[in-house]
Amino acid sequence: MEAKDDVIFKNRLDRHHDELRWLYMELYQNGDMFAELCSKMYEYYKIRREQLKNRDESREKETNWFQKKDMLGMMLYIDNFAGNIKGVSEKLSYLKECNVNCIHLMPFLDTPRGRSDGGYAVSDFRKVRPDLGTMEDLSELADKCHQNGMNLCMDFVMNHTSEEHDWAKRARQGEGEYMSRYFFYQNREIPERYEQTVPQVFPTTAPGNFTYLPEMDHYVMTTFYPYQWDLNYRNPRVFNEMMYNFLFLANQGMDIIRIDAVPYIWKELGTQCRNLKQVHTIVRMMRMIAEIVCPSVLLLGEVVMEPEKVVPYFGTVEKPECHMLYNVTTMATTWNTVATKDTRLLKKQMDIVNRLPKQYTFLNYLRCHDDIGWGLDYPTLRGWGMNEPQHKRFLNDYFTGKVEGSVSRGELYNDDPVTQDARLCGTTASMCGVECAGFKGSKLDDQEGEMVRAVRLDIMLHAYMLTQSGIPMLYSGDEIGQTNDYSYKRDPEKAEDSRYIHRGSFHWDLAEKKENPLTVEGAVFQALNRLEHIRRQENVFDRNAEVYTYDVHEDAILGILREYQDERFIALFNFSDKSEKAWIQEEGIYRNLMNGEKVELNNIIIPGHDFLWCKKIL
């Protein structure tokens, strides 16, 4: 057995060794540290549990397992969802009912209270936050997920550590070895030079990119919050140690590792310190390291940027980097379409994505734990007579319910008085009008009422998300139309950060209504369930299907055509709140997959915020 194991490792190492060494030496010119990395990789391989090694072996044979049409993810906060990790284990049956087979556990590693950025300031990469459980609980959960056909995803926050991380504490004591793992400066000279070219991530909640530490009389680089110290990846010790942490976490049974804020990990004076070529070198090395030690583990890159910046993180066919990336521009453009009721920009964006190679896997989502940044194609909007600041203001006014007729209830995030570049927070349901309709006492039995319309929009958006190729990722709570949670305002540790408005506790009491279609929870849950089942069953959702937008000569309606072998599927989504006609002339008979009825696609009327999913049958 020993010997067979060693052969497997050796073969995998041989496959990547030369390229890995080349990249490592290019970056670090340090053969000893490279040798250390190789021997540590072997150690992590040796201690990898047998069942995980089996998982590696079977997934190496089926490398595109994650691109199957039955993949459905959900991201959730352990405490909000089920108190602790053991609680999540007990709730797997609920997630199964949601058809979820990939669980993204939001950050759960140890992090200081009140200075944690929702867990994105890690003080110990090898310890679970005590109130959530232990590493053993995590491994047990992973095993249980695997037994139930589910995958587990976690964040690897690699750009920075918490100021309470052991390295940071030692750096604070003035230990040079540890100071060199961060970016320390004695005076403002270099920080000021950086500030000239580096944009700010949190202009209101955490302005600037450096923090002054009075006890040391030094500045430290803090791109995100002042308590998140940027790691210095020029130091090979940082790279190696972080890779050991990565492998340690992978060995707990993770299937997907989300590499947080990855574009930021390499810094260079005179640049924006984003997406530098060394970032790609590092991601490529991580990919090879994973393929050597734990090849079933996939990399999900968090690159919240415009498409030209995102796509390079897939790497090339010979030198792949991330297995999957967020379809962030499509997400932002979707919400833009909700506000403008004009699908032209969305069509354009979808055409860009549809033209990309099919092996590029995107994660599609409506909402996640972060704000929505208005990263849209402004040159195109400008061509249509819209200017950027004004349009952003319109979107923010729309989603905060300030525009006449808007029923959306969102909140601004990092409203920068200088750039006026505010972003937006809120749950899908609140942004679709469920919250507003609820306050007015509107109920689902009123067919023309506000609640019916809000729920319809919510479902339509999910249907549209599920129509796209890639992995649909639900945000916990959205499956029952959960609205905003304002309780964060009473918590001084959260009050400043409006992202907590959509990070509320999961309402198990409301979830109990999921079988009753006359409740919001039931209406949303049942519709999503139906959509998800159809997506699993129908071949047109195969990742190899040809996907096009379909022009129906009505800007409020988005048409999508999916073709696979001889099957043809057409989806129509009306983003307007009024009935609109899709000017479409399709031969033959279609079946409405939602209700089973036959339809002819002949200049068809779609009610406001409604959709049609249909497949050609004759």
Residues binding ligand GLC (CB under 6 A): 117-118, 120, 157, 224, 260-261, 302, 369-370
Which of residues 261 and 560 has its CB atom nearest to ligand GLC in the complex? Answer: 261
Least Å distance, CB 304 to ligand GLC, is 6
Say if CB 76 and CB 103 are below 8 A apart: yes
Q: Report in angstroms how near the CB of residue 196 gets to ligand GLC at its nearest.
A: 22
Quote the least distance from Cβ 306 to ligand GLC, whole Å. Answer: 16
Q: Of 197, 105, 113, 111, which Cα lies nearest the Cα of 160?
A: 111
Residue 587: Cβ within 10 Å count: 9
In whole angstroms, how close is the CB of 27 to ligand GLC at the nearest point? Answer: 23
- Rounded least distance, CB 370 to ligand GLC, Å: 5
Residue number closest to ligand GLC, CB atom? 120
Minimal distance, residue 417 CB to ligand GLC, in Å: 21
Give the span between the Cα atoms of 586 and 617, in whole angstroms.
Answer: 12
Please state the φ and ψ torsions of residue 51, each to the nearest 5 degrees: -65, -30
Could you tell me where the beta strands, DSSP code E, fall in 167-307?
184-185, 210-213, 218-221, 228-230, 256-259, 298-301
8-state DSSP, 199: P
Q: How far is the CB of 228 from ligand GLC (least distance, A)?
A: 6
Q: Which is nearer to ligand GLC, 302 or 411 (CB)?
A: 302
Structure tokens at 120: 């994105």
And the tokens for 423? 């972003």
Number of residues assigned to the chain = 618
262 vs 286, which CB is nearer to ligand GLC? 262
Q: Is the distance from CB of 152 to CB of 191 less than 8 angstroms?
A: no
Closest approach of ligand GLC to the CB of residue 344, in Å: 29
Nearby residues of 183 by Cβ (< 8 Å), 6 or more positions away: 220, 221, 230, 232, 267
> Strand, coil or helix: what is 570?
strand
| Residue 260 vs 485, nearer CB to ligand GLC | 260
Q: Which lies closer to ligand GLC via its Cβ, residue 59 or residue 369?
A: 369
Q: How many CB atoms lie within 10 A of CB 301?
A: 24
Q: How far is the CB of 363 from ligand GLC (least distance, A)?
A: 13
Identity of the amino acid at 419? T
- The Cα–Cα gap between 166 and 168 comes to 5
Residue closer to ligand GLC by CB (options 226, 449) is: 226
Residue 137 or 230: which CB sits closer to ligand GLC? 230
Nearer to ligand GLC by Cβ, of 263 and 481: the residue is 263
Contact between 328 and 353 under an 8 Å Cβ cutoff? The reply is: no
Task: Select 422 or 614, whichever has its Cβ closest to ligand GLC.
Answer: 422
Least distance to ligand GLC from the beta carbon of 47, Å?
A: 29
Strand partners, 463: none
Q: State the nearest-atom distance from the C-beta of 57 to ligand GLC, in Å.
A: 33
Beta bridge partners of 124: 110
SS (H, E, C) 168-185: HHHHHCCCHHHHCCECEE
> Would strands 602-606 and 580-585 be described as parallel, antiparallel, or unpaired?
antiparallel
Q: Which is nearer to ligand GLC, 67 or 116 (CB)?
A: 116
Instruction: Give whichever of 153 and 511 is closer to ligand GLC, judged by the CB atom.
Output: 153
Amino acid symbol at 193: R
Strands 298-301 and 256-259: parallel
Q: What is the 3-state secondary structure (H, E, C) of 597-608?
A: CEECCEEEEECC
Q: Provide the residue type at 450 as one letter.
A: E
Whichever of 258 and 609 has its CB closer to ligand GLC, that residue is 258
Cβ at position 371, least distance to ligand GLC in Å: 9
